[in-house]
Structure 1
Amino acid sequence: IGMAVDLWSDVTVSRSDKFEFTVEGEGAADMPKNDTNYIVVGVMAAYKAANKQVPPLKYHCISRIPFARGLGSSSAAIVAGIIAGLVLAGHRLPCWGSEALLQIAANIEGHPDNVAPVIYGGIQIGIHTGTRWTTERAPCPPGLQLVMFIPDFVGKTSDARGVLAETVTRQEAAFNIGRAAFLVHSLCLGNLDNLKYGVEDKMHQPSRGSKLYQYLYPMIEAAESAGASCAYLSGAGPTVMALTSGASGDIFTQREKERTDTAVARAMMEVADSFGVKGKLIVTNAVHEGARVVKVDPPFSSDGITYRDNI
């Protein structure tokens, strides 16, 4: 299960006489700038789907999604690359009954829970049926706010996976299965009070919290004590995500006493300070729209039909 968050990166891909990759913003120093970059991997996958050779291309990324922090930056890069590649290759994919874009992206990522929200937006529950990837949207409670503590250090996937036990007990599996069902039920009912039970975990957070991110459980406790509906490790970490409730609409039109995001953010930062962990707080919200094309040259719009923003 994954949720689309209101953090966006801009990716521009254009034809060129040689390969070039530039990036600015989040993770600019750490991001690979060769054909191993997931944007490039996505473009190559799109051209493969179109049965065409990849021409020399120039890539530029304005990254606003913290890199390697458990916030889906890799999935965003994959999907952005595929979409850009499809447009450049002049190729379209079948949707009904196949969800071809999801198949390509999930095969690169290895699972659908991150790429599905990037493609479709909202909260997505993804599985593999045995023959293909599929996903369904779960309701997103109105007024949901996301408070994220994002440490300054990069989370290494190898480290995050390395601390996990090779096997789980029957009791641990049953616990997580029940909590996953309870989480989805809480979302469907819009019952924010029960989210804290739905996000409880015995399969990855205990190991990662004790061996990698000692601030995790104190921060979860502090966030929930300050009014958060729930808090948990985002992805494999190191980011901690707290969900808070508010009224529908822009939070800046709402009185602070009717919101809890500020108090939760302060509580999370106090815990970070007590552990000597440097980082930043971002308060944002879930979004119901996924990745989209914002500009094409030549444009899709014509004299007779104007597409959104005249792209």
Structure 2
Amino acid sequence: MAGPAFRAAAVRVRVPATSANLGAGFDSFGLALGLYDDLVVRVADAGLHVDIAGEGADTLARDERHLVVRAMRATFERLGGQPRGLEVVCANRIPHGRGLGSSSAAICAGIMAARAVTVGGTEQLDQAGALALASEIEGHPDNVAACLLGGFTIAWTDGLAGLDGESVAPGAGAHAVTLAPSADVVPVVFVPADPVLTEVARGLLPATVPHADAAANVGRAALLVEALTRRPELLLPATEDRLHQDYRTPAMPQSAALVGALRAEGVAAVISGAGPTVLALTDESTAEKVLGFAGEGWAAHRLALDTRGAVVLPLAQ
């Protein structure tokens, strides 16, 4: 059986940063933000050439270990075979190891690019298939769902791991819905200089939590759907969390202190993903004031909400 055919022209993919959890929606909620990585890929006659500019240029591998390349290889396998060679150029703007979905961006960019350079790739691997593959590689669907789909996403997987001994493979049966966040919401991110590994942050979480804490988060998560889409004035109570942020404080005490200071001023602030970036959900009237909370060691950025997710763009755009 003949393998897939590949396009001769290069393709360009743009993927957004994402913030997961958003306080109460642990491992379920994601929000796409207007900060982007770009990827240009061309099928070559032989070999692998990887070029990186921006974030990670001095530290990331330039071979088969690169996460973009790994995601592309996994996608090509789903589509029937590998090309003879690849040229990959990454322009990275999403900070690494800061809780803004850099690994999800790399995975989604690789999947989108591999699909785009394969003739009939989009028909063979639709959006649901891309989400399932991205979730399998990442291990959970919250960031990759927001990165692929844009907007405010609610993601879940089939089955409940750990319930009555049931075990679910990472990313298995991943699904997501996307909602339009209110245009009145203005995200502000506070990015610290030093990263925190996701594995370290996850390692601080307990195996079980009190029933009262779980019940409280269920209510807040339901409220957050209404607050983020239609009633932003409810974002402060809607982003309250008892499941993960306090447990992670030892790994990021400065981030926890900033969240506390912002919330004491009535600002809906949370740890972004596994941290240590802090996300504040503000509005036009308070965004500039909130930016002033950035002290020494923090880079504060007002960002737009991304509503398109991962896209294939003309090379000249």
TM over 0.5: yes
Name the structure 2 match of 1:102: 131
Q: Is it true that 1:6 corresponds to 2:34 in the alignment?
A: yes
Question: Could you say if the C-alpha distance between residues 98 and 218 of structure 1 is closer, same or farther in structure 2, counting changes exceeding 3 Å?
Answer: closer
1:301 matched to which residue of 2? none
Partner of 1:304: none
**Residue aligning to 2:140:** 111
Give matches, 1:74-223, under 5 Å: 74-94=103-123, 99-130=128-159, 132-188=173-229, 190-209=230-249, 211-223=250-262
Corresponding residue for 1:244?
282
For 1:62 and 1:202, the matched residues in 2 are separated by 37
Question: What residue identity is the alignment partner of 2:307?
Answer: H
Question: What is the TM-score with the length of structure 2 in the denominator?
Answer: 0.81
Asked if the contact 2:79/2:125 (under 8 Å) is kept, the reply is no
1:295 aligns with 2:310: no
Q: Which residue of 2 aligns with 1:286?
A: 305
The structure with higher relative contact order (CA 8 Å, sep 6+) is 2
Query: CA deviation digits over 1:44-91, x for unaligned, max 9?
Result: 122111111242212110001111110011111111101111122223
2:43 is aligned with what amino acid? R
Secondary structure of the residue aligned to 1:59 is: strand
The answer as to whether partners of 1:69 and 1:150 remain within 8 angstroms in 2 is yes
The letter for the 2-side match of 1:236 is A
8 Å Cα contact 1:149-1:239 kept in structure 2:
yes
State the secondary structure of the residue aligned to 1:114. Answer: helix
Tell me by how many angstroms 1:172 deviates.
1.9
Name the Cα RMSD after superposition: 2.2
Aligned length: 276
2:53 corresponds to: 24
The CA distance in 2 between the partners of 1:225 and 1:169, in whole Å, is: 25
Does residue 232 in structure 1 map to residue 261 in structure 2?
no
1:46 counterpart SS class? helix
Question: Is the Cα–Cα contact under 8 Å of residues 122 and 138 in structure 1 kept in the other structure?
Answer: yes
Aligned counterparts of 2:70 and 2:301: Cα–Cα separation in 1: 29
Cα distance, 1:97 vs structure 2? 9.3
Paired residues of 2:100 and 2:273 also in contact (CA < 8 A): yes
Structure 2: gaps spanning 5 or more residues: 1-28, 160-171
Separation in structure 2 between the aligned mates of residue 56 and residue 94 of structure 1, nearest angstrom: 23
Take 1:53 and 1:187, find their aligned partners in 2: how far apart are those partners?
A: 42
- CA shift for structure 1 position 163: 1.7
Tell me which residue corresponds to 1:250.
Answer: none
User: CA separation of 1:183/1:96 partners in 2, compared to 1, >3 Å: closer, same or farther?
Assistant: farther
Change over 3 Å in CA distance of 1:227–1:9 after alignment to 2: same
Q: What is the rounded CA distance, in whole Å, between the counterparts of 1:53 and 1:82 in structure 2?
A: 13
Pick closer, same or farther for the CA change 1:176–1:95 going to 2, 3 Å.
Answer: farther
1:263 to 289, 296, 308: 289
Structure 1 unpaired stretches of 5+: 247-258, 297-308
Choose the corresponding residue for 2:43, options 7, 12, 15: 15
In 2, are the aligned partners of 1:93 and 1:100 still within 8 Å (CA)? no
Q: Which amino acid aligns with 1:161?
A: R
Match of 1:40 among 69, 73, 91: 69
Go from structure 1 to structure 2 and tell me whether the alpha carbon gap of 1:182 and 1:170 turns closer, same or farther (over 3 Å shift). same
Distance in 2 separating the partners of 1:8 and 1:237: 18
Residues in 2 aligned to 1:96 and 1:294: alpha-carbon distance in whole angstroms: 19
CA 1:240–1:95 in 2, change beyond 3 Å: closer, same or farther?
farther
**Structure 1 pair 10–98 and aligned structure 2 pair: CA distance change class (3 A):** closer
